[in-house]
Amino acid sequence: MSKFQIIALIISLLWIIFVVELVRRRKLIGGYSLLWLLTGILLVVFALWENLLLKLTHLLGLVNPPSTFFALVIIFLALILLEFSVRISRLSRQNKEMAQKIALLEIKFPKKIK
Amino acid sequence: MKKKILIVIPAYNEEKNIGLVIDEIRKENIPFDILVINDGSKDNTLLSAQRHGAIVADLPTNLGIGGARQTGLLYAQENGYNLCLQMDADGQHSAKNIKRLIKAGQKNRVVIGSRFIKNRYKGAFSRRIGIILLSFFLRMIIRKKITDPTSGLRAIGGKAISFLAKNYPVDYPEVEPIVFLHWAGIEIKEIPVVMRSRISGNSSIAPLNYMVKVILAILIDCLREKPKI
């Protein structure tokens, strides 16, 4: 195992521990916890399996393995950001509808003034 | 048509203007209710509006002008109003226009108060260009001339109320509704109105970059499924 592999492995494991801890404290809920855990596991696989990146590079017809890695990471992050935008749009729509409903309900049932 | 009229005034941090605006409207001797939408103001807009006798919908967060106007339409729909008048809280829209808007307002019709039918607009050059281009662009899509597409002074009648309550575009709440209404087959009519310069504060409609965004938004709307009544 090369020195770099060890560092990569440590970082990946720290990542997984961090995610698990967030889930345990309920700071991270829903489908995303699974996604980020899988990301961590994938990082571990890349750290342990030296040739995977090389093979992937050849497969994609690229030359430089680190570039392959970065390209994959960037594509992954872009997809996640897009997904977040979709989710934010949905949340703001729901938030708007709720605010409107609250305001209209308060007209029907006014707050009691002490 | 017996008109049951609701005047909707979205207000964000307008404690100084809102009372004056309400009082001015009340002087017009027409039976209507006034609904102020307090759009998450940080000042005393809520109290000020209540003190002047308006019904107030108090939004817990700031939704922006589109979400606020939609709240007014939802209220109108729920309470059986058949004419909904949209005004601004900054005092730009003179209450003197109300009577004529109400007169022109009819079932399934939207009336827009236009500054430019009779008067030449004297605003900043860039804004004038913006409005002319926007108007031209709109004309290509809806095949009808709208001289003042960014006017917020409108009378919305009948089915148009429930249609817009359901399909109110939040991002560009002045121009996009015109396109939506056109698609839904609702008549749009412009009448000349007089507007004052603002009592205080700044307009949220920034000319050039606003225009580009509006046009993009409408082009995207063209790709979407068209809203129907």
Q: DSSP string covering chain B, please?
A: ----EEEEEEESS-HHHHHHHHHHHHHS---EEEEEEEES-SSSHHHHHHHTT-EEEEESS--HHHHHHHHHHHHHHHTT-SEEEE--TTS-B-GGGHHHHHHH--TTEEEEEESTTTSPP-S-HHHHHHHHHHHHHHHHHHSS--S-TT---EEEETHHHHHHHHH--SSSTTHHHHHHHHHTT-EEEEEE--BPPPSSS--S--HHHHHHHHHHHHHHHHHSPPP--
Beta carbons of B75 and A99 less than 8 Å apart: no
Minimum Cα–Cα distance from A108: chain B residue: B57
* CB-closest option in A95, A96, A104 to B57: A104
A96: chain B residues, CB-CB within 8 Å:
63, 67, 70, 170
Query: Each residue of B109-130: pLDDT tens digit?
Result: 999 999 888 766 666 677 777 7
The span from the CA of B163 to the CA of B186, in Å, is: 9
Q: Would you call A24 an interface residue with chain B, using a CB distance cutoff of 8 Å?
A: no
Å between B176 CA and nearest CA of chain A: 17
Query: Which residue of A96, A105, A109 to mutate against B (max B Cβ within 10 Å)?
Result: A96
Å between A78 CA and nearest CA of chain B: 22
Task: Classify residue A63 by its DSSP letter.
Answer: S
Q: Which residues contact B8 (CB under 8 A, 6 or more apart)?
A: B35, B37, B69, B72, B73, B75, B76, B84, B85, B86, B87
Structure tokens at B78: 């729920």
pLDDT for A29: 85
pLDDT for B58: 96
Quick one: pLDDT band at residue B60, thresholds 50, 70, 90? very high
Q: Which residues contact B105 (CB under 8 A, 6 or more apart)?
A: B3, B83, B85, B111, B155, B156, B157
The span from the CA of A54 to the CA of B183, in Å, is: 55
Instruction: Give the largest CA-CA distance in chain A.
Output: 74
The span from the CA of B106 to the CA of B2, in Å, is: 10
Burial (CB count within 10 angstroms: exposed 0-12, middle 13-18, buried 19+), residue A33: middle
CB atoms within 10 A of CB B56: 24
Q: How much is the mean pLDDT over chain B?
A: 88
Question: Which residues of chain A fall short of a pLDDT of 50?
Answer: none
pLDDT for B205: 55
Å between B223 CA and nearest CA of chain A: 18
Phi and psi at residue B184, to the nearest 5°: -80, -5
Q: What angle do CA B125, B129, B133 make, to 5 degrees?
A: 170
Contact pairs from chain A to chain B, CB under 8 Å: 35
Span of A81-85, B34-38, B62-66, B207-211 with lowest mean pLDDT: B207-211
Nearest residue to B9 via CA among B28, B30, B33, B29: B33
Nearest residue to B104 via CA among B187, B196, B183, B9: B187
Statement: residue B201 has pLDDT above 50: no
Task: Read off the amino acid at residue A55.
Answer: K
Å between B86 CA and nearest CA of chain A: 17
The span from the CA of B174 to the CA of B131, in Å, is: 12
pLDDT for B102: 92
A104: chain B residues, CB-CB within 8 Å:
57, 71, 74-75, 78
Q: Which residues contact B212 (CB under 8 A, 6 or more apart)?
A: none
Span of B50-59, B74-83, B170-179 with lowest mean pLDDT: B170-179
Beta carbons of B61 and A95 less than 8 Å apart: yes
Span of B6-20, B43-57, B127-141, B144-158 with lowest mean pLDDT: B127-141
A103: chain B residues, CB-CB within 8 Å:
37, 57-60, 71
pLDDT-above-70 percentage for chain B:
92
Structure tokens at B204: 């949220």
* CB-closest option in A95, A99, A104 to B75: A104
- Interface residues of B toward A, Cβ cutoff 8 Å, are 37, 55-61, 63, 67, 70-71, 74-75, 78, 170
Beta carbons of A103 and B67 less than 8 Å apart: no
What is the average pLDDT across B59-68?
95
Statement: residue B186 has pLDDT above 60: yes
What is the average pLDDT across B54-60?
96
What is the average pLDDT across B171-180?
90
Tokens 């009691």 label which residue? A112
